[in-house]
């Protein structure tokens, strides 16, 4: 305690008041700069994280509207399935006027799907 107090007194006696003022001013100016830099880094990291999350969300949404083979599903709506006669939550409206439930659509052969896709692509 005595040593520390002696050192402090020597430092105090040998330091010009202007030097103390300059160091104090630098410390006072540095605090807001450090806070601003930390805030900037925080905002940057948060933005990057949100961008990644949005990208994953968009990809998940896109996958929901695509069949396993990557082709889009036809538009959906409420109605009766033309094949099995059931009324599920939603049926696919094929461009040729046919309505199919998820099960019948999945069970339909590839040729039917491809014909559906061709009529959809040739439509304006
Ligand atoms: Zn059906």
In this prediction, residues 64-74 reach a mean pLDDT of 81
Q: Are residues 86 and 114 in the same domain?
A: yes
Does one domain contain both 83 and 115? yes
Taking only the tens place, the pLDDT of each residue in 11-22 is 888 888 898 899
The region, left, alpha or beta by phi > 0 then psi within -120 to 50, assigned to residue 59 is alpha
Question: pTM of the prediction?
Answer: 0.43
Residues constituting the chain: 124
108 lies in a domain? yes
Tell whether 56 and 91 lie within a shared domain: no
The last residue of one of the domains, among 39, 64, 89, is: 64
Q: Are residues 45 and 20 in the same domain?
A: yes
pLDDT digits (tens, 9 = 90+) for 88-113: 888 999 888 899 998 888 887 665 66
Q: Please give the distance, rounded to the nearest whole angstrom, from the Cα atom of residue 60 to the centre of ligand 1.
A: 26
Q: How many angstroms is it from 61 CA to the middle of ligand 1?
A: 25
Task: Identify whether 71 is part of a domain.
Answer: no
Ranges 12-16, 45-49, 120-124: which has the least confidence: 120-124
Distance 4 CA to ligand 1 centre (A): 88
List the domain range (segments joined by +) for residue 17.
2-64
Q: Are residues 50 and 84 in the same domain?
A: no
The answer to the question of residue 36 being in a domain is yes
Please give the distance, rounded to the nearest whole angstrom, from the Cα atom of residue 96 to the centre of ligand 1.
16
- Nearest CA-CA partner of 79 in 60, 68, 92, 69: 92
Is residue 122 pLDDT above 60, yes or no? no
């Amino acid at each position: 305690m005595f040593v520390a107090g002696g050192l402090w007194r020597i430092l105090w006696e040998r330091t010009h008041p202007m030097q103390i003022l300059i160091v104090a001013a630098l410390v006072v100016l540095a605090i807001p700069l450090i806070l601003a830099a930390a805030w900037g880094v925080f905002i940057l990291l948060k933005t990057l994280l949100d961008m990644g999350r949005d990208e994953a969300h968009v990809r998940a949404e896109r996958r929901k509207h695509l069949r396993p083979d990557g082709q889009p599903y036809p538009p959906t709506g409420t109605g009766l399935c033309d094949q099995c006669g059931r009324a599920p939550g939603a049926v696919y409206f094929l461009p040729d006027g046919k309505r199919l439930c998820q099960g019948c659509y999945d069970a339909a052969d590839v040729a039917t799907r491809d014909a559906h896709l061709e009529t959809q692509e040739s439509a304006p």
